[in-house]
Every structure is written in C-alpha cells, then in structure tokens.
Amino acid sequence: MLSRSPHISPLGTSEGNNGTLLELPAGAITRFGRGMVADLEFSANSKFLAVASRTGLWWYSLASMSTTALWETERGVVSTVSCSSDGRWFAIGTADGILKLWDMRNQVCVAQLDRQSGVYTSVRHTFSLDGQHLAVFGALPTNMIYLIDPETGNVRAILGDEKTIKLRRPAGKPIAFSVDGKFLAHVSPSEDMSSEFVCVWDVETGVCLTSLTEHLDYVYGLCFSPCGHFLCIGCWNGRLIVWDIFKNRLVLKRIQHEKYRMYPYYLPTGQLIAAGLYQRYTHKPVDIWSVKNDEKLDEIDINGYPICARFSKDGTQLAIATHDQIKVWSLPKKDTQNEAESGVVEVSRKKGNEANFSRSATFSRQQTIENLTIRTRPTISGHTGVVNSIVFSQDGRKLVAGYDSDNLLLWDIGSQSSQRPYNAHPIFQKYIVQTSPSGKIFSVGVNSNPDVIQVWDVIKGRSPIAEFTYPPKIVYRPAVALAPEANLLVVGNMSGQLDVWDVQCRHKRYTLIGHKTQVGSIEFSSDGKRIVSSGRSDETVRLWDIETGAEISTLATLPMLNADIYKGDACEIQNYLKWILTRKKPISGRVVIALAFSPCGNLIAGGMDKEIRLWDTTTNDTHLLIVPPHGCRRPFSFAFSPCSRYLAVGAWWDGTQKVSIRLWDVATGENITTFWGHPTDVQCLAFSSDGSILASGSFDGTILLWNITPYL
C-alpha cells in the first residue's frame, strides 16, 4: 500500500539550529538532545548519514556535519536502517515491529510490514547490491531469513527453517550479501546457546552451501570479498576469520585485540580493513587495521562506550556512534580511486592456512592503503543517552541533565547549546542532579562495576567532593538521594537498607532498616529533615526523620473503597473501583514506582499502577487519589510546581504513539492540561524556579521544554 508521509523533508536543506526545533511536538518550546543512537547508515552517494534514534530518523550532511532532516517522528523508536547501493530504496525498522520500505526517488512509502508478517525489525536488515532483495530476519523464535521485494513489500523467498532460537545478545545478528547477490551469509546461535555459527546460502536455489562453526563466538561483522570467494567474520574477542566458502576451509585467523569487537570490510580493490571497538565503558579509541599486514592504520578517540559502527558502501568511510557523539573516519578519496582504477587485489594462500594479500604489478608501494594519509572528520554531537535526572539553575537560564551510561550536560536555554561541566572523571552508569537553596548544582554519579558512588559540584568540580565504595553485589544501580545542601547522601541497597552518609566527613552515620526488598525510590524534603522511601517489591512507603534515624510512619498503599477521596474522570473512577472489588485475589499493598515531596513539605506524591496517591505529611493520611485515564496508567515521574499547587506527572509507555505528561491541580485533582511529545517513558520532570517552564526528560534520550504559563 502506498502512503505519502507528511513528515518527509528534503535532505539538502540545512536546519541550522542543531535540531532543537525540527519536528517539535505541539506545545513544546525546544528540544535538547536528539536521542540515543540505535543504528547508522550512509546514503548511497556517501554525502549523508542516516541515524536511527528513539526520536526518529536523523539525517546529517557529511560535508558540514549538520542536521538536514528528521523523519519518522509520528511514533519514533527507529531501531534499524538500510539503504540500497543505488540509493533508490530505503528501509526503516522500529522497536514496535514495523518495517517501512521507501522509494527515495518518489518520496513515498511503498510498503509497510508489521509483526504479523513475520519479520523481525530489531536486528539489522540489508539490501543486495543490485537492490532486488531486502534480507530481513524472521521474527523470533524462528531461524529464517525473509527475502523481500522492495518495490512491493512481498516476500520472494524464505531461507532457513522454523527451528526455535534465541538471540544471545541485544546486538542482533549480522547479515551480508555477496557483491553479485548470489550468496547470503547470516549468523545464528548454536542449539545450546554457547556459541554462534555462520550459514551461507545460495539465494537462487535456497540451498545452504555451508555452515561455519570453527573459532566463532559473538559475531559482530560479516562481509564478502569482491570476488565472492571469501567471507570475513569479525568476532567480539578481537578475532578475524576469513573462509574460502567454495573450499569450505579457513584461510586466515587473526586476533588483533582480545577485548575488541571486530567489524571487517572489503574495499572494492579487495583489500580487507577492520575496525576494532573496545567492549567496555572506557575512553579507549577505535582502532582501524589493515588486515593484510596486521598493521594499525589509525585510531579514533571517542568518548564513552561505542554502540555501533557502520562502513560506507565503498568502505572508505566509517561512522562510529557512542551515547553522545558520532565520528566519521575516512580515507582520502583521490588515493582510493587511483587504487581502484589501477588494478586488482588478489587473495592467495600461503603455507599454514594463512592468507597472503598481493597486488598486481601496476600498484606502487606509495599507493597501498598502509601509506595513505588518514584524516578524521569533525564530530557529530547532540545524541544523548537515557535522561535520568534534570534540574534548572536558580536563575532559570540553564538546565543540567544527568544521563544513563554517560555524563552530565549543561544546557544553555537561550543559545540552545550544551557543554560538559567537567571532563576529568569516570563515565558513570547513572547520574542524579539537583540544586541547593544557595544556588549550587550537585550531581551524584553511580557505578555498579565497580560499586562506586561519587558526589560532585557540577560547576566548580574538578574532583569529587566525596566518594563511597560498596562491596560487590551490595548495591546495583541503587536508589540514591542527596540532601538539598549536599551534606547527606542516602543510598538504598539490595536488601532494603538505607545507608545515610555524611558527605563532608565521608563516613556512614547510620543505617535505616525497614524495607524487606531492594529500595526503589528515595526523596528528601526541601528542608532536608525528612526522607521518603519505597521498596521495589515490598509494597511499602516509609517516612523517616533523617536527623534521628527514626521511622515517622508507614504510609498507606492499600486500595481505598471510599469514592469521595478519588479524583478524576467519573467513569475512570467507577471502573477502577469495580476492578478492585471484582478481583479474585485480594490486593495487598502496591508497588510504588515514583515519589516526590512538595516544596512546602506538606504533601508526598506516589505513583502506583492505575493510581496517583498524595499523602498529607502533617497527618500521614491519604490526601487524595487520582485515577489517570487510559494511556498513562503507570505514573513514572513526578515534579511539584514551586508553589506546591500543581503536580506534573510523566507516564510509562503504554501502547500509545506518544507518552503523556499531565498537569494536575493537587487541591481538586483536576487535569489542567496534557502534553504529548515523547515516544517512550518520561523518566524525570523539573519546573523552572518561576514555575513558567516544565522540562521533561525521557528514555528516548531527549529533553523537551514546555511553556505552562497559559494553563495556570
């Protein structure tokens, strides 16, 4: 079915504002960040780079390294992209299981396949060189490859069988066509899931020519040589394997670095290069290797963990993405063109099953790839990981954001630009940020390998204010809370205990004992004298006196049958009460997903499945219950307005195109307004100090700013 999209913009236009205003949701002022990178693809002419993210599909001009377009914003959550070699066809896969096929010449979507069609869109698909086939993995748990006609979306052939399999890792399974399109190679796990093997198929007959099982484990890259005789396999342990697929024998086995993921690629000349990406969260560079001489050609400095890497169609460019940047490495075009025009690179065997890469006599030593001058293009910045925490500066001019598996960014609201407050510190798996009454901005960085928690002054910090280390497996991505003046840090551990640390003296004051399971959430009151905490599965919410360490009260989480205390839509309330009364199994307590103290300190908000509950801290009784409408039944994040009269609630994704952010009047329970913008869970919310702007941070990796003045 043909469907023309209203959100397709030409790639040649330069956006000029770093994507902050491109395809903004209704009511949003601006967007900070462009979302976490899921996949990369070069355009056929290598002039543009397509970047799949949870926000949508971003396009960049490689000449200027600037944004040119943003596609697929109606839903977002783009997970895979691929482009045909002639540039006519473009395929987009989403996390919702949708595969779209675009005719780029006519700017129309010619076909859309959903989960019922049997395709699996969360792992990479690829076009044959002639553009006649799109190879897509079948939906789990089958072990099939679908060959799709890109012009119609019809399935031309299915390779493989319906044997039940599992993915060994989120990285997916590589897939590759030979240059002439006759052969297809893909990765499958072994039956016991202990290793992987590579199948090579004859596309025309549908016959499996060979299964390669030796020396393979966690395959990340597959590529055929231009002659089609050899298949190179890149593994996670720094290993490169080259097989002669016709003779079914190993011709090369080489280990570059044991802790590197290897991505090989054959140049059109036949030379084999490979990119090595380190497996851990470090600042180690990406290495580019000439496999022929086992020689490192270049190294590319990156910040953080490399998520994915993709070569251009001719292999002369490589894009590497981390959580917050994309770097594009390239070979000088003039020299590589001269190589391609001068002769052919041949592969011949030496003794010992090693490979010897030899050139024809027309090549001079100066023309070999090892002697090319390497250069690195400028960096594409702006893509960010999951937003954990956000806070406005006291003057409202800046917004500080803490990211998952990343770092901190200081966003200037006026210029809509960002900078890192400091660089000389580790990359943490989680960051929490907050402001103090005196205007200082603090952050807490959390790691679970090793189990280290650090407190920083965001603006002035060159080294942490304090560091606390836990034994292994005591805390894992723990709930943490910092007192308003950063004098105390509370850490919830796996057993349900709350450790209260003196930040200045760097010692533990005492441990609060009450929860029976891992602590899910902790919040300080604005005066720093109380904390509220929830157990991740013990279904309790406890209020503590932080100065004495005494428990003040256990707040009620049981369902309440008094209809007068409920606020919201009358039909929603009636259905909710009916659900409580007709349950066969009595409801005990409730798992509280999120907590928040009002600035005045008189109210605590808690989010539970199908319910928002507010407790009065003067009596410790339930103040009111709000039943949110369908689509936002799992309130995931809270923020009170500075005046304490309004509560902003961000939802967990619940099958909707966009996730809601609702503003509630805490006195009446009225839903004042609703914003729809993020495609995935709203992780955190924050009001500006004057209460005029609401910021929302999402699992999609972006922050949206909303003007709420018209609604108050």
User: Is the separation of the CB atoms in 343 and 367 below 8 Å?
Assistant: no
Residue 20 burial (CB count, 10 A)? 21
User: Averaged over 392-400, what is the pLDDT?
Assistant: 93
pLDDT-wise least confident of 96-110, 199-213, 353-367, 452-466: 353-367
User: Averaged over 154-180, what is the pLDDT?
Assistant: 76
pLDDT-wise least confident of 53-57, 212-216, 289-293, 344-348: 344-348
CATH 2.60.120.620 fits 566-712, yes or no: no
pLDDT-wise least confident of 386-395, 428-437, 520-529, 695-704: 428-437
Does residue 359 register a pLDDT over 80? Answer: no
What pLDDT, on the 0 to 100 scale, is given for residue 334?
A: 45
Give the type of residue at 32. Answer: F
Does residue 706 register a pLDDT over 80? Answer: yes
CA separation for the pair 109, 466 (Å, rounded): 55
Q: Which H helix or E strand runs over 148? A: strand 143-148
Residue 23, Cα to own-chain centre: how many angstroms? 20
| β-pair type (466-469, 451-457) | antiparallel
Per the model's pLDDT, the better-predicted residue between 539 and 51 turns out to be 51
What pLDDT, on the 0 to 100 scale, is given for residue 588?
A: 58
CA angle 559, 561, 562 (to 5 degrees): 125
CA separation for the pair 236, 221 (Å, rounded): 9
Two structure tokens written together for 113: 């396949």
The SS3 call for residue 138 is strand
The SS3 call for residue 571 is helix
Residue 577, Cα to own-chain centre: how many angstroms? 38
CA separation for the pair 239, 651 (Å, rounded): 44
CA separation for the pair 87, 534 (Å, rounded): 53
Does residue 59 register a pLDDT over 80? Answer: yes
Strand boundaries in 621-668, DSSP class E: 621-627, 635-640, 646-651, 659-665
Two structure tokens written together for 306: 């490399």
Two structure tokens written together for 687: 């009001």
Does residue 364 register a pLDDT over 60? Answer: no
User: Averaged over 5-14, what is the pLDDT?
Assistant: 49
What pLDDT, on the 0 to 100 scale, is given for residue 4?
A: 38
Q: Which fold has domain 390-555?
A: Methylamine Dehydrogenase; Chain H (2.130.10)
What pLDDT, on the 0 to 100 scale, is given for residue 398?
A: 94
Burial class (CB in 10 A: 0-12, 13-18, 19+), 195: middle
What pLDDT, on the 0 to 100 scale, is given for residue 554?
A: 94
Of 53, 681, 56, give the one whose Cα is nearest residue 387.
681
Per the model's pLDDT, the better-predicted residue between 211 and 390 turns out to be 390
Does residue 339 register a pLDDT over 50? Answer: no
What pTM was estimated for this model as a whole? Answer: 0.87
CA separation for the pair 512, 492 (Å, rounded): 9
Residue with tokens 């009460």: 577
Does residue 630 register a pLDDT over 90? Answer: no
Q: How many angstroms separate the Cα of 114 from the Cα of each of 99, 337, 700? A: 6, 42, 22
What pLDDT, on the 0 to 100 scale, is given for residue 620?
A: 94
User: Averaged over 196-202, what is the pLDDT?
Assistant: 89
CA separation for the pair 420, 345 (Å, rounded): 46
User: What confidence tier does 666 reach under pLDDT thresholds 50, 70, 90?
Assistant: very high
User: Averaged over 252-275, what is the pLDDT?
Assistant: 86
User: What confidence tier does 27 reach under pLDDT thresholds 50, 70, 90?
Assistant: very high
Of 526, 531, 528, 550, give the one whose Cα is nearest residue 541.
531
pLDDT-wise least confident of 229-243, 279-293, 315-329: 279-293
CA separation for the pair 385, 701 (Å, rounded): 5
Does residue 335 register a pLDDT over 60? Answer: no
User: What are the pLDDT digits (tens) for 493-531?
Assistant: 888 999 999 999 999 999 999 998 889 899 999 999 999
User: What confidence tier does 14 reach under pLDDT thresholds 50, 70, 90?
Assistant: very low
Give the type of residue at 468. Answer: F
User: What are the pLDDT digits (tens) for 438-451?
Assistant: 889 998 988 766 67
User: What confidence tier does 354 reach under pLDDT thresholds 50, 70, 90?
Assistant: very low
What pLDDT, on the 0 to 100 scale, is given for residue 471?
A: 74
CA separation for the pair 456, 463 (Å, rounded): 7
pLDDT-wise least confident of 190-204, 219-233, 327-341: 327-341
What pLDDT, on the 0 to 100 scale, is given for residue 393?
A: 93
What pLDDT, on the 0 to 100 scale, is given for residue 426?
A: 61
User: What are the pLDDT digits (tens) for 292-332?
Assistant: 888 888 888 887 778 889 999 988 899 999 877 899 998 75
DSSP string, 472-515: TTT-SS--EEE-TTSSEEEEE-TTS-EEEEETTTTEEEEEE---
Query: For the chain, what percent of residues have pLDDT higher than 90?
Result: 46
Please report, for the chain, the start and end positions of each structural domain, with discontinuous segments joined by +: 390-555, 566-712
pLDDT-wise least confident of 34-48, 183-197, 233-247, 668-682: 183-197
CA separation for the pair 618, 464 (Å, rounded): 37
pLDDT-wise least confident of 317-321, 383-387, 425-429, 606-610: 425-429
User: Averaged over 531-554, what is the pLDDT?
Assistant: 92
Do 390-555 and 566-712 agree at the fold level?
A: yes
Cβ contacts of 113-122, under 8 Å, gap ≥ 24: 113/148, 113/153, 115/139, 117/155, 118/142, 118/144, 118/146, 118/155, 119/146, 119/148, 121/79, 121/80, 121/93, 121/94, 121/95, 121/97, 122/79, 122/80, 122/93, 122/95, 122/97, 122/172
User: What are the pLDDT digits (tens) for 587-618?
Assistant: 655 688 899 999 999 999 999 888 899 999 99
Of 318, 321, 368, 339, give the one whose Cα is nearest residue 46.
318
